[in-house]
Amino acid sequence: MNLQKEFNSVNRKLNIAITRIEKPYGNPNILAEFIARQLKNGVSFRKAMKKAIELTEDIKGIQVQIAGCI
């Protein structure tokens, strides 16, 4: 009910499908959100990058790039 109020669809039926991702850190978007959250929490960018690479241990190749004023 809270989601229906938030999306302003009280009169309409709201269907939600939840899918489980087996290897979430293999998904680049989830990995980018992880790094961004770490940087917002004040973790140094080198530690955040190393942790992200460690989380993707099953991936054969990975490239992580951070740019801008950190």
* 10 within some domain: no
pLDDT digits (tens, 9 = 90+) for 3-20: 767 777 666 777 778 889
User: Is 17 part of any domain?
Assistant: no
* 41 is a domain residue: yes
Domain that holds residue 34: 22-70
Total domains in the fold of the chain? 1
Measured distance CA(56)–CA(33) in Å, rounded? 14
- Whether 57 is in a domain gets the answer yes
**Could you tell me if 48 and 37 are in contact, meaning their C-beta atoms sit under 8 angstroms apart?**
no
Q: Say if CB 35 and CB 49 are below 8 A apart.
A: yes
Question: Does the pTM exceed 0.75?
Answer: no
Split at pLDDT 50, 70, 90, the class of 37 is very high
Mean pLDDT throughout 47-57? 90
Task: Kindly write down the DSSP assignment for every residue of 30-50, as one continuous string.
Answer: HHHHHHHHHHHTT--HHHHHH
- pLDDT of 46 reads 92
Please determine, for residue 1, whether its predicted confidence score (pLDDT) is greater than 70.
no
Query: What is the helix (H) or strand (E) element at residue 6, kind and residue range?
Result: helix 2-6
Please state the rounded mean pLDDT for residues 15-29. 85
